[in-house]
Amino acid sequence: MVATVLRLKYTTVRHQLVREWWRALLLIGGAVWSLSLVPAVVWASVQLLDESAEVRADILLVVAAICIAGWITVPLLVTGLEDTLDPGRFTTFGVSAKQIAPGLTLAAFLTAPALFFTGAFVVLMLSWREESAAALAVALVGAALTVAVMVLGARVAVAWSARAVNDRRTRGVLLLAVGLALAVLGSVVWIALRDGIDSALQYEAQTLMEWLGRTPVGAGMAAAESATYGRWWSAGWRLALMAGTVAVLALAWRDSIAHALVNPVHRGGGRRRRADAILASASDLPSDGTSGASRWSRLAGLWRADEPTRAVRARMLVSWGTDARYLVAAAGVITLPVIFFAIAMPVLGLDTRWAFVAPVMLAASIGWGRHNDVAYDHTALWLDIVSGSRGRAVMAGRAQAVLVWAVPATLLAAAGILAWTGRWYAAPGLVGATLGTLGATLGVASVTSVLLPYRAPAPGENPFGAEVGSLGASLGAQLLSSAATMLVLPLVTVPLVLALTVHAGWGWVSLGTGLVFGAAFLLGGLRLAGTLYDQRAGSLLARVS
């Protein structure tokens, strides 16, 4: 069965390569890039050789902790990673988890990233070779177990998150837990760095690492140090802890496979909704396309809100509230700003004015994150296409549904940062830059989502998975939308920088440029996207399915 599963994987990959030649380029490019890192790893290993055992162990521990954190979070944040062997795909074959788990596990270890990390950690461990043969052996075993924790941890994290996020009861708990974890992380970092980075490195960091060395995160790395000094008991229980963790993760992974085999994710849980949210959103005025007196269009004042636009907006608001794929996307946007604010800023010892970047980053994450918005409709978008030339309504409704929550969210973030820094004089500048960024990035994203849609998880599918065959297209679309975003961002952010560095008066300029350019890019983007949508209606369905 192991061989069958592995053969299945490589046959699938081979067929993809044959069908889409650019995939081979990507594969080769990725391999070259990985290989180009090899000298760096070897260099690091040589440098570690000169360090004392304590320092070496500490450095390796931090590296392992970062790698484990990366392995567990990246697949959750970056959807579209490879999922040829998603256990859910095996449901119809009548196999048991016991039969396919070994094959799936082995396949997980035979992916390029897993192999690269294994190799890299083995090379790094060679820096223990001058201590003693026993220390080197312990280090190698510890490294192997650490990589196993990464690979299995990533699978379990994705499987559990998919389960939690698709279950109404656990979804709230999950979001709460994520928020709580971020809050704790942020406050720990801030408290630790209250007295400056040097004191933190001296005291708190030492304590933290000592503790990490007793957890599955760092025990595999700390074991070698114990072995160097002949503390065999200490090295032994650390390796045992790692082995136990790997065993528990393997069991959890098998349990997740077993669960996925008999619980297809696409169910709504028998929820009922009496009120018609779509009809409720419709205007009571006669629909002549210019119902300018309606509450919404007066509030926004910027774009038309005819019946189709309202219907799309109402539909998208339902999705933002209930669809796991959108919930994951909404939760993901806070990652970058939080990492920047809670980790990068204190670690780099940046001036508090840098905190103003966080709300702008949040706005940019939200806007850029919509660069594949249309594809999330999957083949359901047939209904929009057959309804006539509704491109403008479709794109405007989608953007409005995002703005409904994104404007309050970014303004809240901006207010929080203003309160934290106490620089209330910069309020107009920050508000302008934040809203301008939101508008500009959403405008750009709406165009790329029509121009370069790539396959997204279908409704009800694992929100962390991707359809096979999306990697190259997604990379192209992501690069292009990032580049376009980078081009327009200075227009709305430079005045804020000037306000903070040159003269506070620039803040009002920032408010002006932010609102004007933000609205212009949004409206222009939506208009263009709507026209493109109608022009490309005949090929959109094929592109997203």
Partner 1 sequence: MTQLGEGRTQAMALRALTKRFGATLAVDRIDLDIPTHSFYGVVGPNGAGKTTTLSMATGLLRPDSGQALIHGVDMWREPSRAKAMVGVLPDGLHSFDRLTGGELISYAGLMRGLPKETVRERRDDLLAALDLDAAGSTLVTDYSAGMTKKIGLACALVHAPRVLVLDEPFEAVDPVSAGAIRRILQEFVASGGTVVMSSHVMALVERLCDHVAVVGHGHVLAAGTLDEVRAGQDLEARFVGLVGDIADQRDLAWLRQS
Nearest CA to 68 out of 123, 140, 142 is that of 142
DSSP string, 467-532: -TT-HHHHHHHHHHHHHHHHHHHHHHHHHHHHHHHT-TTHHHHHHHHHHHHHHHHHHHHHHHHHHH
Q: Which residues inside 391-420 make contact with partner 1, applying CB under 8 A?
A: 393
Query: CB under 8 A: which stretch of 188-196, 327-335, 371-379, 462-470 binds partner 1?
Result: 371-379
Per rule CB under 8 A, is residue 272 in the interface with partner 1?
yes
503 burial via Cβ count (<10 Å: 0-12, 13-18, 19+): exposed
Query: CB under 8 A: which stretch of 61-69, 304-312, 401-409, 427-435 binds partner 1?
Result: 304-312
For residue 390, count other CB atoms closer than 10 A to its CB.
Answer: 23
Per rule CB under 8 A, is residue 327 in the interface with partner 1?
no
Per rule CB under 8 A, is residue 295 in the interface with partner 1?
no
List b or e across 4-39, with b for residues whose CB sees 16 or more CB atoms inside 10 angstroms: ebbebbeeeeeebeeeeeebeeebeeeeeeeeeeee
- Name the token pair of 401: 């549904």
**CA angle in degrees (0–180, nearest 5) for 133-137-140:** 135
Indicate which single residue of 3, 279, 293, 299 sits in contact with partner 1 (rule: CB under 8 A): 279
Q: Give the shortest CB-310-to-partner 1 separation in angstroms.
A: 7
Q: Give the shortest CB-77-to-partner 1 separation in angstroms.
A: 23
Alpha carbon 153 to its chain centroid, in Å, reads 16
Per rule CB under 8 A, is residue 537 in the interface with partner 1?
yes
Instruction: Kindly tell me which of 143 and 385 has the beta carbon lying closer to partner 1.
Output: 385
Q: Give the shortest CB-460-to-partner 1 separation in angstroms.
A: 6
Per rule CB under 8 A, is residue 534 in the interface with partner 1?
yes
Indicate which single residue of 172, 179, 230, 388 sits in contact with partner 1 (rule: CB under 8 A): 388
Helix axes 205-212, 53-77, angle to 10 degrees: 80
Per rule CB under 8 A, is residue 542 in the interface with partner 1?
yes
Q: Tokens 């993809």 label which residue?
A: 16
Per rule CB under 8 A, is residue 311 in the interface with partner 1?
yes
Per rule CB under 8 A, is residue 370 in the interface with partner 1?
no
Per rule CB under 8 A, is residue 255 in the interface with partner 1?
no
Indicate which single residue of 323, 417, 428, 448 sits in contact with partner 1 (rule: CB under 8 A): 323
Per rule CB under 8 A, is residue 94 in the interface with partner 1?
no
Per rule CB under 8 A, is residue 460 in the interface with partner 1?
yes
Per rule CB under 8 A, is residue 204 in the interface with partner 1?
no
Assign 3-class secondary structure to 72-115.
Answer: HHHHHHCCCCCCCCCHHHHHHHCCCHHHHHHHHHHHHHCCHHHH
Assign 3-class secondary structure to 368-397.
Answer: HHCCCHHHHHHHHHHHHHHCCCCHHHHHHH
Instruction: Kindly tell me which of 32 and 262 has the beta carbon lying closer to partner 1.
Output: 262
Instruction: Kindly tell me which of 260 and 458 has the beta carbon lying closer to partner 1.
Output: 458
Per rule CB under 8 A, is residue 313 in the interface with partner 1?
no
Per rule CB under 8 A, is residue 277 in the interface with partner 1?
yes
Instruction: Kindly tell me which of 102 and 459 has the beta carbon lying closer to partner 1.
Output: 459
Rg (CA), the chain: 26
Per rule CB under 8 A, is residue 263 in the interface with partner 1?
no
Distance CA 359, CA 382 (A): 36
> How many chain residues bind partner 1 (CB under 8 A)?
54
336 Cβ partners below 8 Å, 6+ apart? 361, 362, 365
Nearest CA to 471 out of 37, 13, 70 is that of 13
Per rule CB under 8 A, is residue 270 in the interface with partner 1?
yes
Q: Give the shortest CB-285-to-partner 1 separation in angstroms.
A: 9
Query: CB under 8 A: which stretch of 100-108, 210-218, 307-315, 505-513 binds partner 1?
Result: 307-315
Q: Give the shortest CB-386-to-partner 1 separation in angstroms.
A: 4
Distance CA 19, CA 458 (A): 22
Nearest CA to 508 out of 408, 420, 433 is that of 433
Indicate which single residue of 174, 186, 541, 543 sits in contact with partner 1 (rule: CB under 8 A): 541
Per rule CB under 8 A, is residue 92 in the interface with partner 1?
no
Distance CA 221, CA 242 (A): 10
Query: CB under 8 A: which stretch of 25-33, 140-148, 222-230, 272-280 binds partner 1?
Result: 272-280
Query: CB under 8 A: which stretch of 253-261, 306-314, 466-474, 475-483 binds partner 1?
Result: 306-314
Instruction: Kindly tell me which of 93 and 273 has the beta carbon lying closer to partner 1.
Output: 273
Binding residues for partner 1 (CB under 8 A): 266-274, 276-279, 282-284, 286-287, 306-308, 310-312, 314-315, 318-319, 322-323, 377-380, 382-390, 393, 458-460, 534, 537-539, 541-542, 545
